[in-house]
Structure 1
Amino acid sequence: MYLLPIPLTGLKRWGPRLISDALFILALSISIGSIFSFADFLRTTLGGDWQHFLSFLKGLVIQNTFTLIVLSQAQYILSKFGLSKVLGIITQTISYSLYVLLMFYILALIIRSAYGVIASLGIALMAIPFRIARSAGAFLLALSIVFYIALPLYPGFVDLLLTGHAYSHQNSIIIYGRIINEDNTVLNSGFLTLELKDYTNENKIYLVPITNGVFYIFDLPKNISLNSKITIFYDVTGHLFYTNITNISLHQLCNTSTTSRYFWLCEISVLVRGVLYYDDGITLHVNPWPEKKYVIYNPHDNTIRVDVSCADCELYISFVNSRVPSAVCIDSQCKDIREFIRYCWQWYVLDGCTAIISISGNHTVLVKLNSASSEPILILSMISKLRSTTHISPLEFIARLIYVQLISAILYLALLLSITLGLARLLGGTSRFRVI
């Protein structure tokens, strides 16, 4: 370059730069395999998993498609009554979300299968002399690296928007279900105590409220993965009742779920043993489980009637102090409940006692309650302070979910493109040169 018999001094000054660029491209070409090996390590460390990510997107696409079909049919029916505009905005919103998710899914497939080709093309463009296509090549190289690492982290980003906590794909599952007793009767209220073992085998206690017979777990505690063992207790009036879920891994529990894992949900049924009835700070439980039983609450006279047939059973009536029954009647013979009290307890911040009634044969037990109180609100307000993890209400979660459906994919792509442009500038800084 320096020996050329031409007066292009600016061109001659490019000699050192071309040499340094050649060495840089050589080093980049040799180390590209190591770069992506480190990218794999970094992605795994941050909790990214390509298989889970693609399944997650596929589930959202299927879910939105099904919802769109249902709403379209409903809109067609409502159009006959002049009410089609009611669902028009919702249908357009879901259509927009579906198009974005499809674009996101196609982009993910391209990056996963062709990230090496994109990176190689970027290096080839950077190798063109005089940095003619250096910026374009650096952008392609940065795009392949950033998107290969960060795209599988999208479920965690959605977690951050939904719950305010960013966890890995192992913690992003939503667990929900119903609470039933041994007669398949739904228990509408109370609490679940979850005993989880983290990777250090240390127990983590996790308290979840039950509303209208349904519980929701929107996020798992830190250090908890799908391989962690879980034991669930029904936690009411000073007692922990065993359920059908004891020392089972979350992975095994959710694989047997009736809801597809693709939909990012895990539906389970929790079977509580021994509990006949719970509501408003009063529990009726029995041991052993009777052959025949019938439990009904009468709101008119505020009583609980239990018809039971058992050879040798004990009926337990547990209550908080603010809900002491006024009397208990056995086959129309009424007595003071205090005659049957055997022990007392403290349930978090609430005190209470348990009465035990021995039953042999066929009997009718009538528990007369005090006037209705705001005990569920009191219990929830007190015990919710003891929970170690923040929960959000189902309605708030649904509102956030709709918001996330609209903006999460576009927002995440914009964030990744910003990072890509920054890395491209770092890799492909360009300089102008004077020809004369």
Structure 2
Amino acid sequence: MDILSLAFYLSVFSYCLGLLLRALPIPFFTVKKLGRLLVVDSVFSAILVFSYRSITTIIEYLSSVLGADWASYSMWVTERTSLLLLLLSAFKAIGIVTSKIGLGAVFSSLISSIINLITTSLTTLLTVTVVALMLKTASSFLIALGILLISVPFRLARGAGAMIIAITVVFSIGIPLMPHFIATVSSGTLTSPSLHEPVCSAILHIVDAKGNPIGQAVIEGYRDEDFLYRYVFNVNGQLVVDKLSSGFPCEEHLVRVEISGFRYSFNMPGSSGDMSLNYTLLIPDLLVLDTRRLVEIGSGVYIAEYSKLENELTLQLEVYENTYFAVYIEAQDELVVLINGEVAEESRVVQYTWYSIDYVGYEYTLTPGVYLVNIVVDYKSTTPLDVLVEPFILKALQLDVLAPETAFFYITYMFVELTILPLIYVTILLTITYGVARLLGGVSANIARYLVMV
């Protein structure tokens, strides 16, 4: 038995019970009045049962007349949610950057306040949206449930039923109109922060001449020498950038890659549509020994054979001109290089520092010929790489790392737009809901009496 059938049977039961009370041969006016009330309520609930389709049709009609479009509302919520998530990630990044450069104590309280405002706005917007979607999805069930509660005899659940129907009708029509309300109220005021260029996602890989991943490479993006971002590949040579957390440029741009002091430049292609960019950077003159330990191969060298076991690398090199190869390790590591089975003497030693890591490079000269090279490294330790990551969203939102206070006014406006105004609008809808519920529930102007003409 479905809900509407049960509601109809309850209305029939109330009608019969009301007639029975009115027909009782007892001189009690209260009993007669109760019987009359049951008859009125039963007819009213029966009318609601048969008007179920009409109620749902009225909701659809009023929504179309008022311009309530759930698709547009969902798009509006998605855009605002994405922007709030980007702002949240951006100010977290600003907090990390300012702490690394020694200004954390100056900006920490301000950034914390901004993050709290963004989080509150995000929570409010998502809460209203989730509740609204639940009401929209279950509107048919909720209306039928409200009719069933109204049909319960003696008005035991009439108020609850009237409130369920009212809140379903009002919010199904009203919530999609919230963006129009906010736009109308906030028109002509300060513009909220927005993306100055599109933000995409990307999955990048970086490999050496043999396709082995190069870990902890630093990549920077530029457009006409204008800095865009700085990221670090993980130890597996992979960089995953999500558009909702860090962001990556959608358009073609120049990237500069640093690997243990080596610098390379590439043209990074743009991503098409909503597809995530998947791109691999090939470093043709480097071979990986271990994390941030590398072998540089000079020009005129062909790697005929390649074998790598833990800390040992074996190469058969065919050399066609005077050239070299070099091994770059951290300063505390120990290195042994054998060329054709004999311990090789380096022709040049280079010492340098890269991101506070001390390196030593050993260069070995080669003349034309075939060489069997064995490289064995005893890794003492791996110094942590300390790189100041600057996500692309800072550039896309045009936020200054050293002046986050300038964005405080925009965030305050956005807090009003996405927290205060939605709460005011929901309050207005609740007020209307209360009035409709009173009309259905029969507190002041009882609609039941007008419908049954009693």
TM-score by length of 2: 0.44
| Structure number with larger C-alpha Rg | 2
TM-score by length of 1: 0.46
